[in-house]
Structure 1
Amino acid sequence: MFSKHLKWVLLFVLALIWGSSFILIKRGLVGLNPYQLGSLRIIFATLFLLIIGFKSIATIPHGKWKYIALTAFIGTFMPVYLFAIAETEISSSITAVLNSLTPLGALVIGLLAFGLQVQRQQLFGVIIGLIGSILLIANGAANNPEQNYWYALLVIFAAFCYSLNVNLIKKYLSDVKPLAITAGNFIVVLVPALIVLFSTDFGKVIDQEEVQTAMLYIVVLGVIGTGVANIIYFNLIQMSSPIFAASVTYMIPIVAFFWGILDNELFSPMQYVGAVIIFVGIYMSAKKN
């Protein structure tokens, strides 16, 4: 009975953490540029994961490191910068909704590249999700001319990266411990992140108060939003199932909505309709007859 209640508690905690990551990015961008933010997020997450997962790295077979490196750049390195760049132009809540397209992307990539068996209902779900995305972006661009909604394509591409990453891990790294995969991913991208960070003249602005304040948000984002969240996610999978754990996808945008409202981000009625259509598409693509 305790385990049954605990899995729901962990699910809500995970949704709260990941749903809050988009507002943390927005706050971090007040003092940092997107490249500094993405680099610091990787660096802080790597330091934390080395502390709690260093021993697990030794369990990665030598032949698997090429896949660790591939998933590191596709599923970690590129998305952190894409999200940060996108939020310089579009709101955090819109970003969260578009990020929820990840399961749809995983379904399409699995079908086209990995021979995944897909039902007609799931294909309808993908089409519905895409319609909702178009409605969300088009209406947002019309009602917010000061925002460049072409940047929404960066979020969609980041979601595509996550989708491809899920399929790659399932095909090539299913026999490697999740904590080892995560720690290995961040070790691979640590040096590139450091190179990007110090190519931005970060050393010249680090003593500025707004930069230091922004870094505090990114410490929380890297340690809690990445490190702790992954630990909770892995425990959730072990005590329940991957399907139950993946249901957090439906809850993340809800948390992001509330943060957006508190931060005076406004949705038009048609954008709410677009968001609901996206969620319907995700539900249909995830459900099996």
Structure 2
Amino acid sequence: MRFLNRVSLSTPESVELDFTLAGIGNRTLALFIDYQILLLILLAFWLLWGLFTLGLFSVLSASNLNYSSLPWWLLGIAILLNFAIYSGYFVYCEVMYQGQTPGKRFTKIRVVRDDGRPVGLSQAVLRSLLRPVDDFCFIGAFFILFGKREKRIGDWVAGTLVIQEQRGDRMTALTISPAAEQLATKLPILADVTQLIPDDYAVVREYLQRRAKMTAKARTEKSMELARQLRTIIGLETTPPNTTSDQFLEAVYLTYQQMQDSSKDATS
């Protein structure tokens, strides 16, 4: 078994990202924590369902109606709701919290796609639906232990990886230059920034967070390549004068954040 297995991923924008895989220990601890939380949620559900069932039977008894088949229907509905809560817990957390459940947040691991982008709804649903298969006889643990990329069956089908969260992963670690802040105020006028999508933002953020760990040559090449591709997306022919590719990427990152903040304010 490998210790601290690392993997390099290439995004659709040809940005190389280096990650450390989560490993069986962190994943087991995260799952244990999540199952404790799920247990409390499901206990509350069955308690409320039991109270609902008793109340329903008392009403039907008073009305002298025949409800001999009703208990089986209620049991079937309860089992379906139980599975929906079980699966929905993982889907909701991984989609809403960038690949992290409470257990994964505690152990500092997260789910990403095979190309390093944030996990989406379809990936989270596939992982969650196949979790019972992975849990059966510890099949998933076997795949993680002996697989090259430490993937369980749900990861193979969904096209995801579970990685360790690194110190540079958080947005607060980013440093925006004054030149980029000035350009960010002009960028919506110079180009169509509404063409940016969350995946574009995620790739820019990943690069800005990890550029300090790159060699000067690799940083220059990736910065220029990424800037060129983003200019094509937003319809900007050339980088503004006296602006480096890094400053341009910082401005794109800041502009997207401001655009998202404006849309939230408009809907609130």
Structure with greater contact order relative to length (CA < 8 Å, sep ≥ 6): 1
**Bigger-Rg structure (1/2):** 2
When you count strand as a share of all residues, which structure comes out higher?
2
When you count helix as a share of all residues, which structure comes out higher?
1
Please say whether Structure 1 and Structure 2 have the same fold, judged by a TM-score greater than 0.5. no
Structure 2 length normalisation: TM-score? 0.30
